[in-house]
Structure 1
């Protein structure tokens, strides 16, 4: 679970041990993890650097877990700094794009697609031409053909076994039915990661082509750029991977393992980890705001969690949910024109 914060299996195991216990010595941590002192010290250094644990003064080295609320807040601030760097990279991409448009050579590497019908058609063709993987950033606005047909990769993915990875902005998931749609996609095999915001929308088929909006914030998806293999396509691919590494994996609610936990409660936990507010959860589940507040507090108490993030960690440890599947196909029933 904590791999999203850059922690490996040993570092996560050490942190959970320290969360559940008083300060422990290096020798005791080595004994509990059955690892050598050098290996454990490296993992502890990662936890210290991340602000998750601290050393306890004394004659011998011992370590204790810091409050998850404060520790996670520090990590979130670090993530925000990373997002700002990605935004700076986006500005560089925009400048490169403009320069490419002025170049005769670049005219052979990009193709401007105009009209809602053509945007939807090229988006569907991009899904169809992929042989290994589809990657994308999902964000409004969305486009569809005049007859209402959506750009849909479900058939291509399920029939041909493609891998599909999509990044979604947290605020867009608050739109009506968005969470249910995402659960459908994840159930079909999509890998989803969530960021507070995304700089743009796009879809990339293998490393052969990408489709991005022509305008930065268009009101209507009626003009896009098809990018062929080039330095620009390489940059878009690098941008996606950078954002993917920053994103939080979406955790799906699977088979019930505790008869005392209802499907509705499990969905609330899933949405909590995705960063939804109580108000957004209420809209997604068609519940009253105060009802959601009461159930969230009850779930925190049931799990023994002091924060919403910790509730997700504890629920995952108990097997109440699991990360979206890795390396499988994806259903993408979204009217997203070029980008999902």
Structure 2
């Protein structure tokens, strides 16, 4: 029990025997504790130096335990001083350990990237350094280099063996040109899913680096944080995978052989796929380049044809009929 104070088994036995007696000689202690006399004499010296016992005047030499409530408190204070010294030593050793490994401390786990050009080039580098997979949460504003090149497209991935997965917020799909760009990326092999709202922008290259905006809702993407392998990077990876499991796949519709449930046109197929993503009529009209009223008429006709009571139900029923298939990454 007293080993926490630095007392070994022999010292604890001798000390407890003295606590239970007014005083004892070395011979008496040896008989009670069954500890070798020579070992016991060395033990008594340590207990006396530690302030736990005292020698009683006279011969033969006798020892008595000092009041434990005071003696143990002194020993605890000494142990606390030792612990503080060990902690200080551990800190110094940690600093030496970091210096020996190029200073890879907490300061090097993140790196602030400033300037629109720097952010764009950093994003490009992450795309190009990925060996297995690039993952991201896509949301405006977008990084754009000085030459106008964008960094959120599969064209930035080198090689054909790198898997690409991106999550988009549904609110960003109403922006001009976004759906067409996503369709091109999907055709190029990118896997895309949609959530009601993207919580943040994010780019992950394998498990080696991540890029996130410095502020949560940037108006201009000119400052980002580059995250190196750390618990923060692990948390960003978990965030992405959690959202990916909850998100709805974005895929073009699937055309079927001629029959009663065949699409009349490619336009209808695209309307159903956009309905399934929850886009309003205005956004669908803008993406397809047709009038708002035309979209309303087509949507109403599809609802009747499917026997659906709502737009969401129409998307579900269309998927059930094979008009579009969320599980098919290419919609072929």
TM-score, reference length from structure 2: 0.63
SS across alignment from 2:267: helix
Match of 1:266 among 269, 274, 279: 269
In our comparison, the structure showing a higher alpha carbon Rg is 2
2-structure distance, mates of 1:265, 1:294: 11
Deviations 1:44-65 (A, max 9, x none): xxxxxxxxxxxxxxxxxxxxxx
Q: How many residue pairs get matched?
A: 224
Q: How does 1:65-214 map to 2 (within 5 A)?
A: 105-151=105-151, 153-155=153-155, 157=157, 159-214=159-214
Q: Relative contact order (C-alpha < 8 Å, sep 6+): which is higher? A: 1
SS across alignment from 2:135: strand
Q: Measure how far apart 1:316 and its partner are.
A: 2.1
Q: How does 1:6-45 map to 2 (within 5 A)?
A: none
Q: How does 1:225-244 map to 2 (within 5 A)?
A: 225-244=225-244
Match of 2:281 among 278, 282, 301: 278
After superposition, the CA RMSD in angstroms is 2.0
SS across alignment from 1:140: coil
1-structure distance, mates of 2:279, 2:140: 18
Deviations 1:47-100 (A, max 9, x none): xxxxxxxxxxxxxxxxxxxxxxxxxxxxxxxxxxxxxxxxxxxxxxxxxxxxxx
- Find the counterpart in structure 2 of residue 323 from structure 1: 326
Match of 2:309 among 306, 311, 321: 306
2-structure distance, mates of 1:131, 1:230: 19
Q: Measure how far apart 1:243 and its partner are.
A: 1.3
SS across alignment from 1:167: strand
1-structure distance, mates of 2:156, 2:116: 22
1-structure distance, mates of 2:190, 2:149: 21
Deviations 1:184-224 (A, max 9, x none): 11111211111111111010011110000112222211111
Q: Measure how far apart 1:266 and its partner are.
A: 0.6
- Find the counterpart in structure 2 of residue 17 from structure 1: none
Contact 2:143 2:221 in 1 (8 A): yes
SS across alignment from 1:226: strand
> Tell me, which stretches of 5 or more residues in structure 1 are unaligned?
1-103, 329-340
SS across alignment from 1:189: coil
Contact 1:169 1:195 in 2 (8 A): yes
Q: Measure how far apart 1:157 and its partner are.
A: 4.2
- 1:215 partnered with 2:212: no
Q: Measure how far apart 1:152 and its partner are.
A: 5.1
Q: Measure how far apart 1:260 and its partner are.
A: 4.5
